[in-house]
Structure 1
Amino acid sequence: MKSELVWDWPIRVSHWLMALLFTGLIITGNEGGDWFKYHFYMGYSLSALILARVLYGIWGSHYARFGQFVRSPKVVFSYVKGLLTGHHEHYAGHNPIGALMVVVLFLGLSLQWLTGLFTSDQIFWFGPFNGYASDDWLDRISTIHHTLPNILLALVALHILAVLFHEIHLKERLFLAMLHGKKKGLTGPVQVQTPRLGIVLSLVIGLAWLAVLWMMPI
């Protein structure tokens, strides 16, 4: 079957960079000491990457846009019912459950880096916004920041299991598709074009946010 491009390079690059940065954040967050500095810098990078990807979800290519793949609860339940009965609808981009996972992960990761801007190790390293909240609020924020990684790890594990389900049971090569961006057996897919303006705007705003964070003391 002919392969058709579905996920263009900005989607694929941002996906794998998020995976690498999240892994690095988990490792450095548990090390302490001088590693904590790199924990902040990777958190800054993740925040800029998510911001750029969200913007590309508005200005980007067809299958990158949230308006294309985010579905209503009714559609999600209908898709789940189809999976259980073996008559699910095929989607060129993210299916309704995959789209829901994307949104949940983006929200969870965003809450994680946002709370990280207020969090400190109480000794050497302090988030750039640490001085803008009361002690009571800092305690609440710190609790969220130190609890959420366990939830995010569970979501990542669920995401990997879902990919394996598609690979083994549904015979959809999602892993390879996230490497080269192409899928087979599609019926009338939209011709994917990567909009230069969308990339430029997303990158400029994301990098500007990153530069602001890097200039702030920790």
Structure 2
Amino acid sequence: MKRVLVWDWPIRVFHWLMVVLFLGMIITGKSEEDYLELHIDLGYVFSGVLVARIIYGFLGSYHGQFKQGLSSFKKIRLYTMVVFKSLKAHKNDDQRTKRLGHNPLGWVMVFALITLLSMQLISGLFFTDDIFWYGPFYDYASDDVLELLAQLHRILPDVLIALVILHISAVLLHEVRFKEKLIIAMIHGHKPIGVTSDVPLVKTPRVGVVMSLGVSLVWLIWLFSLPS
């Protein structure tokens, strides 16, 4: 066996930043204490990280590119059947359940989380507590749209929490049942493969890093400069 790089440093940094920031937003958003200002700042920073990750999904390293996810969608049904058959047969180290990058169901979760997180962050830009704080885009939407976005902003956190729990459960299933070390791989970036296996060489494209971080930085500077 040999180890190869799968998740380069931008993918890993974006992933763990979103984990920490999401946890912070949930705690400050659901707390009975007055953490509104901190919640807003965390949401702004999260939006910057999400912008960077989306751009890197087009210009980044091989296994983190969205086109890999789109090409895997046609394999969702087959992969799901493999997982259930493996579970039914009590196979603890079924190689058919393992993928070097995200498996097809993993990509479904990636796209679902990015979509819903984007919706949550956008709706937050129009949100108000009706007392002290008005989102920077509050004045640019009708009352009906504002009410819809406000409802969305209240409902989506619970949906996202459910998805995150499902995501963690799937990771633990692969860790414990299929002996696939996903968590540590997202820390150091490497996964083991057979010595003779032919896999894509993962490189960190400079253009992808510069574009994702540059656009994210400009977005954050503009966002924090807006009156609220």
Q: Same fold (TM over 0.5)?
A: yes
Number of paired residues?
A: 218
Letter in 2 for 1:141: L
Give the fraction of aligned pairs with identical amino acids, expressed as a percent. Answer: 46
Alignment of 1:1-218 (within 5 A): 1-31=1-31, 34-71=34-71, 73-86=73-86, 88=96, 90-186=98-194, 187-218=197-228
How far apart are the structure 2 equivalents of 1:139 and 1:71? 37
How far apart are the structure 2 equivalents of 1:6 and 1:72? 17
Gaps of 5+ in 1: none
**Stretch deviating more after TM superposition (153-162 or 20-29):** 20-29
How far apart are the structure 2 equivalents of 1:199 and 1:167? 30
1:20-65 CA-to-partner distances (Å, cap 9, x unmatched) read 1111111111236752111111111111111111111111111111
What secondary structure, in the 3-state scheme, does the structure 2 residue paired with 1:70 have? helix
Alignment RMSD (CA, Å)? 1.5
What secondary structure, in the 3-state scheme, does the structure 1 residue paired with 2:191 have? strand
Scaled by the length of structure 2, the TM-score of the pair is 0.91
**Stretch deviating more after TM superposition (67-76 or 34-43):** 67-76
Letter in 1 for 2:67: G
Gaps of 5+ in 2: 87-93
How far apart are the structure 2 equivalents of 1:131 and 1:17? 31
How far apart are the structure 2 equivalents of 1:39 and 1:75? 39
Tell whether the 8 Å contact from 2:98 to 2:180 is kept in structure 1 after alignment: no
What secondary structure, in the 3-state scheme, does the structure 1 residue paired with 2:4 have? strand
How far apart are the structure 1 equivalents of 2:103 and 2:72? 12
How far apart are the structure 2 equivalents of 1:209 and 1:25? 19
Scaled by the length of structure 1, the TM-score of the pair is 0.95
Letter in 2 for 1:82: V
How far apart are the structure 2 equivalents of 1:155 and 1:123? 31
Go from structure 1 to structure 2 and tell me whether the alpha carbon gap of 1:91 and 1:151 turns closer, same or farther (over 3 Å shift): same
How far apart are the structure 1 equivalents of 2:171 and 2:20? 18
